[in-house]
């Protein structure tokens, strides 16, 4: 356990951070903390009206830009409109949907939004990144499996948890292979991952007595859930680190570096996923400028 708190954030004056999905929850708390430390924070959100409402709750320098990670067209437009350096790219946005849905590009919604969208966004923005890329994952990765013959559930029966777990495993494999490629290119940029823990949210409001009891006993606030993300963004830790809470099976508490599954540490699996992701999105690792 590190004892890390928001008070431990360094002065980020003059730094620029992009936080996806930052109009609510952990993303908003992350954006608020970074802006409070002096950073210019870009709230990259699907609905700009909600983003502007969130920005009004933040003290500091903020900007709202539209980004729909379920649309490669939107991802490309966001990246094409970007100018200037990026010190922190926080891939926070994610979804979990109960029924099979597809993105505009035909991807299974969770795999497309939680992995392929951030994959494309990161590679398109990477020539601008000077500092770190932090991707929000989950310990759900431990039971995740990637079917390379059917990654978008075109033949497999859809299951919400299975699809979510797959996307969170993909987040860690992406982080590992991104760091390997950055190292090979001689870049000083670091790729990190974070698990916010069990965070209280509206999704548990109608979860029954047992669910509400779990929230009361174990869940932490979005502000507390943001701490592992912030720790991954600024702490003196090596690339490809995985930060998460320190207590209750890494579900709450001050952040620390945590372990990941054996498959999330498999370099061959990470390289295979990267190749698949390049093929599906049409976005490669940049050949120069990293």
Catalytic residue positions? 164
Instruction: Give the span between the Cα atoms of 84 and 283, in whole angstroms.
Output: 21
Instruction: Give the span between the Cα atoms of 13 and 29, in whole angstroms.
Output: 18
Ramachandran bin of 238, using left for φ above 0, alpha for ψ from -120 to 50, beta for the remaining angles: beta
- Rg (C-alpha) for the chain, rounded Å, is 18
Answer positive or negative: Cα dihedral of 43, 47, 52, 58: negative
Give strand pairing partners of 18: 42, 89
Note the Cα 9 to chain centre separation in Å: 19
Q: What angle do CA 6, 12, 18 make, to 5 degrees?
A: 90
Taking alpha carbons only, the member of 239, 53, 231 closest to residue 129 is 239
In the block, residue with structure tokens 């049409």: 282
For residues 243 and 231, the answer to whether their CB atoms sit within 8 Å is yes
In 37-92, alpha helices (H): 48-55, 72-80
Q: Phi then psi for 185, rounded to 5 degrees?
A: -85, 0
Instruction: Give the span between the Cα atoms of 90 and 29, in whole angstroms.
Output: 12
Give strand pairing partners of 134: 90, 192
Taking alpha carbons only, the member of 72, 67, 71 closest to residue 45 is 67
């Amino acid at each position: 356990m590190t004892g890390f708190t928001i008070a431990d954030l360094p002065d980020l004056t003059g730094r620029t951070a992009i936080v996806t999905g930052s109009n609510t929850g952990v993303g908003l708390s992350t954006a608020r903390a970074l802006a409070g430390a002096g950073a210019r924070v870009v709230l990259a959100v699907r609905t700009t009206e909600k983003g502007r409402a969130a920005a009004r709750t933040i003290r500091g320098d903020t900007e709202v830009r539209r980004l729909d990670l379920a649309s490669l067209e939107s991802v490309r437009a966001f990246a094409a409109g970007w100018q200037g350096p990026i010190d922190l790219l926080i891939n926070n946005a994610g979804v979990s949907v109960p029924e099979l849905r597809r993105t505009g590009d035909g991807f299974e919604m969770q795999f497309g939004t939680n992995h392929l969208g951030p994959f494309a966004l990161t590679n398109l923005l990477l020539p601008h990144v000077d500092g770190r890329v932090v991707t929000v994952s989950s310990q759900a990765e431990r039971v995740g499996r990637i079917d390379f013959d059917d990654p978008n559930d075109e033949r497999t029966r859809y299951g919400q948890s299975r699809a979510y777990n797959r996307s969170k495993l993909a987040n860690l494999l992406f982080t590992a292979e991104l760091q390997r490629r950055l190292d090979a290119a001689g870049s000083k940029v670091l790729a990190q991952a974070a698990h916010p823990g069990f965070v209280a949210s509206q999704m548990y409001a109608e979860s029954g007595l047992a669910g509400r009891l779990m929230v009361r006993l174990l869940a932490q606030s979005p502000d507390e859930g943001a701490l592992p993300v912030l720790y991954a963004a600024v702490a003196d830790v090596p690339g490809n680190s995985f930060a998460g809470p320190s207590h209750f099976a890494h579900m709450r508490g001050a952040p620390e570096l945590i372990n990941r599954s054996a498959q999330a540490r498999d370099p061959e699996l990470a390289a295979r996923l990267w190749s698949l992701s390049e093929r599906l999105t049409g976005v490669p690792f940049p050949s120069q400028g990293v």
